[in-house]
Chain A
Amino acid sequence: MNKTVIGMAAAALILVIFAYNRGGFPLVGRGFVTAGEKFIAVFLILIVAFIVAGFVSILIPQKFVSRWLGKEAGWKGPFLGSLLGALVPGGPFFFYPLMAALTISGANVGTMISFVAAKTLWNVARLPIEIAFVGVELTVIRFLITFPIPILAGTFVDLLLPGYAAKIREDIKRLQKARPQKRGEQID
């Protein structure tokens, strides 16, 4: 928690200073208003998203996740992760916490790499909007060309980077359970 909060607060501060240099307090004020509007716009969805993520994390048994999305899934992990990414709705404030919850329940990091690519490349809720504004032809071209990426990327991570994936899993656990873990408490 701590380090990440400091890093992000610093990034926010840099942007605020940058805005102040460009347009003084009025521009800084507008930045905060824009941020507030975005927050209000997604507030309701955010609450529901956290309820879903919370219940997913207590209801879906670890066995289930590790069978379908973890080590036991083998080559099917990235494939199923991609499929999940294609089906799950919602913006980044929802699917990143979901990815964290699934990883803690036993999903492979490679599978999550597949998930995050498929969430943007294959997502069934997004394709109709893309077709509506971009056109059928270009959407089909875009879809066909990027189709293999989620599966290939996840498989690559699972096969070639298991050590790094283990470190990422530790990072995620640390971020989620920042407080209880402080005294070297065992995770689960």
Chain B
Amino acid sequence: MTDALIALLFMAVILLFFAYRQGKITAGFSEAARMFLNVLPLLVCAFIIVGFIDLLIPRELLQAWLGEESGWKGLIIGSAIGALIQGGPFAFFPFYDAVFRDSVATGTAVAMITAWGMINVGHLPYEFAFLGHRFVILKYCMYLAVPALAGLLANLIFG
């Protein structure tokens, strides 16, 4: 999180510099404020949704679902667990390390990690809020099966 903040601040400083040279500082801040106020109701809903998903889907349950499964069942359940786990990389990867690293097959791991990034349910509120329902349909039609297929490929090549 701190890394991201530093990188964003760096970007903001560069942008402010260019805006200053073009005399667009005020315009930039009012655009930022307008964007923020426009999506504020959506953001409030998004945080409530993410907060409750986090609370209602306990981590122990996820581990119990996967059990000792490997093969195609492991690929699908692994994808589903990846898609449900909330939090950024600093939450997900340590969690993966602690809970799954020693017990899952290569393909299951690939499916889970890919699903966590690509089809995470926690992203849905943001996707609806900023890009609309048609984008969500397109993205999920294209990417829903990718984690399991990537896992299958990993099992076949490296398993």
Contacts and interface: CB of A to CB of B under 8 A. Distances in A.
Contacts of A159: none
Contacts of B94: 133
B128 to A, nearest CB: 6
A84 interface: no
B143 A153 contact: yes
B52 A31 contact: yes
A173 to B, nearest CB: 9
Contacts of B158: 141
B32 A50 contact: yes
Contact of A18 (B15, B56, B90): B56
Interface in B113-157: 113-114, 117-118, 122-123, 125-135, 138-139, 142-143, 146, 150, 153-154, 157
A133 B96 contact: yes
Contact of A27 (B41, B53, B55, B128): B55
A149 to B, nearest CB: 6
A171 B132 contact: yes
Contacts of B11: 52
Given A45-B4, A55-B19, A59-B18, A8 B129 contact: yes
Contacts of B19: 55, 58-59
B65 interface: no
Given A5-B41, A141-B158, A90 B49 contact: no
A19 B57 CA distance: 11
B139 to A, nearest CB: 7
Interface in B31-57: 31-36, 38-39, 41-43, 45-56
A136 interface: no
Majority secondary structure, B binding face: helix
Contact of B15 (A35, A59, A142, A172): A59
A9 B113 contact: no
In terms of DSSP, what is the predominant structure of the interface of chain A? Answer: helix
Interface residues of A, number: 90
A64 interface: no
A117 B118 CA distance: 6
A31 B48 contact: yes
B64 interface: no
Interface string A76-112: 0000000000000111111011011101000001001
A39 interface: yes
A125 B129 contact: no
A168 B113 CA distance: 28
Contacts of A41: 1
B3 interface: yes
B15 A52 contact: yes
Given A8-B46, A11-B49, A38-B51, 7 more contacts: A1-B41, A38-B50, A58-B31, A100-B131, A101-B35, A134-B101, A168-B135
The 9 closest A-B pairs by CB, nearest first: A54-B32, A35-B51, A120-B117, A171-B132, A133-B93, A55-B15, A8-B45, A15-B52, A34-B51
Interface of B: 1, 3-5, 7-9, 11-12, 15-16, 18-19, 22, 24, 27-36, 38-39, 41-43, 45-56, 88-90, 93-94, 96-97, 101, 106, 109-110, 113-114, 117-118, 122-123, 125-135, 138-139, 142-143, 146, 150, 153-154, 157-158
